[in-house]
Structure 1
Amino acid sequence: MVLDVLPCYVVCDVSCSMTDHIAEVNAGMREFRGVVHAERRAAAQIRLCVVVFADSPQVVQPLRAAIDPSETITPQQESGSDFGSAFTLLRTVIERDVHSLKAQRIRVRRPVLFFISDGHATDHAWPEALARLTATASCPEMIAFGLGAVDPPALDRISTSRVFLGRDGVRIGIALASSVARTVLRPDHV
């Protein structure tokens, strides 16, 4: 039996502008893990990587089973939200992860990238880094989730699929779980 794996990347802005929203992000991650844990098929397929960024990006949880406890996301006392460096790091991380899984003879579904931010980038060249990420063979399905006083046009540019807004009453855990679940349940998404 060939194992199908869905690499899922949660990318969270942890700059000063997001400080008031980090508890909501952590609650959403716990809720997502609970949903995945309850669905045996999803639990077997979903791998999760968590990346945070402010002035610079950092992988806080390498790709592993989504039901494993994840690192708590903490805010950083940095004012920058460097989207470009986050997208550049993600391009490298996703390509490495997909290559590693395939080397293990695991069938890899198209990755899902769940981008959480208020949408206010402090670097102006981020669209070029985003274009390089989406031009790769391992191009992820991009889902954006806006918290606080969002910049909807920026989130619309990032998303290739859907944009969720916390101000609409949508919870992070439910948005992430529904996005991933529809991917896991769609056989054409391989």
Structure 2
Amino acid sequence: MDHTGAKLLPFYLVIDVSWSMTQDHKLDAANRIVPALVDALARNPVLSDRVRFGLIDFADEARVRLPLCDLLAPGLQLPVLAAHGGGTSFAGAFTVLRREIEADVARLKADRYVVHRPAVWFISDGEPTDRGTIWRQAFEDLVSSPAFPNLVPCGVDRADLGVMGSLIHPSTGPKRMSLYMMEPDFSPAAAITGMQEILVSSMIQSGYGLANGGTGTILPARTALPAGIRQYDPADFV
């Protein structure tokens, strides 16, 4: 099939599955995210020609659980997230993510798609267990890659505000991204569900934006955020 000129926007979900995610029903909430994306695309099937989705989980190491794909593809089997380690390796997540994005973008361009800047939603409930120099170098390698993504960090439970805020990318310019954090004393599982709603909204808005001549990731309006979620902009960390 000739895809010359067809526009695609890749979305990736990179999610923490360390043992702490088994507490307070956080992993149960995380497992509802991808089915919610499938349902949203099923209600907006025209967007299946505009967006692709990939899933990476991470704990002591990062794993590709769903290679970049059309979520409405017949027979697609959705993975079930399960805890697989006590660590929280941000370095592993960023390294695997960079490898996948570079390979996916190269493959799609070889198929003659016009590939827009990938969007990454990075969800964690804690701080990285790698040394700071290691995970920060892996992050720098990711965002300095020619195929660097728009990265939207999302923190729940014990995630550190300063660490998560440092992951916003781009953090300057007209297309800067934002951070979403759970409000203090809110339910972590409910916060993950709220972040699911934000991701679904972004995918749908961005897909329609692309169909109408837009060029990238659209985040929902601050006034439309679910309860228990606070949005931070890069200027909040200056």
TM-score by length of 1: 0.91
Aligned position for 1:6: 9
CA distance in 1, matches of 2:196, 2:38: 8
Q: SS state of the match for residue 158, structure 1? A: coil
CA contact (8 A) 1:29 1:172 kept: no
8 Å contact kept, 2:127–2:159? yes
For residues 127-161 of structure 1, what are the alpha-carbon distances to aligned partners after superposition, in whole Å with 9 as ceiling and x for unaligned?
A: 11101100011110001122222211111111221
Give the secondary-structure state (helix, strand or coil) at the position aligned to 2:151. Answer: strand
Answer yes or no: is 1:109 the counterpart of 2:116. Answer: yes
Distance in 1 separating the partners of 2:179 and 2:37 = 17
Q: Residue 179 of structure 2 aligns with which residue?
A: 163
> Residue 199 of structure 2: which of 156, 176, 179 is its match?
176
Tell me if the contact between 1:32 and 1:174 (Cα under 8 Å) persists in the aligned partners.
no
Worse-matched range after superposition: 2-11 or 93-102: 2-11
Alignment of 1:22-41 (within 5 A): 22-41=27-46
Q: Distance in 2 between matches of 1:58 and 1:97?
A: 16
Which residue, out of 83, 87, 91, partners 1:80? 87
Partner SS for 1:92: helix
AA matched with 2:30: V
Structure 2: which 5+ residue stretches go unaligned?
A: 170-176, 218-238
Q: What's the Cα RMSD here?
A: 1.9
Identity %: 28
1:128 and 1:13 map into 2 onto residues whose CA distance is 19
**Cα separation, 2, equivalents of 1:181 and 1:37:** 11
The answer for the alignment partner of 1:127 in structure 2 is: 136
Deviations 1:75-96 (A, max 9, x none): 12x2110101110111111000
Residue 189 in structure 1 maps to residue 216 in structure 2: yes
Supply the distance in 1 between the matched residues of 2:42 and 2:153 (Cα, whole angstroms): 23
Question: Secondary structure of the equivalent of 1:52?
Answer: strand
Question: What is the CA-CA distance between 1:98 and the residue it aligns to?
Answer: 0.1
- 1:24–1:172 CA contact under 8 A, matched in 2: no
Q: Is the radius of gyration larger for structure 1 or structure 2?
A: 2
CA contact (8 A) 1:134 1:140 kept: yes
2:225 alignment partner in structure 1: none
Runs of 4+ in 1 over 3 A off after TM superposition: 166-170
Contact 2:116–2:215 under 8 Å retained in 1: no
Which residue of 58, 67, 72 corresponds with 1:62?
Answer: 67
66-75 or 141-150, larger mean C-alpha shift: 66-75
Greater helix content? 1
Which residue type is aligned with residue 9 of structure 1? Answer: Y
Contact (CA 8 Å) 2:9, 2:216: kept in 1 or not? no
Q: CA deviation at 1:69?
A: 4.6
Structure 1 unaligned segments of length 5 or more: list them: none
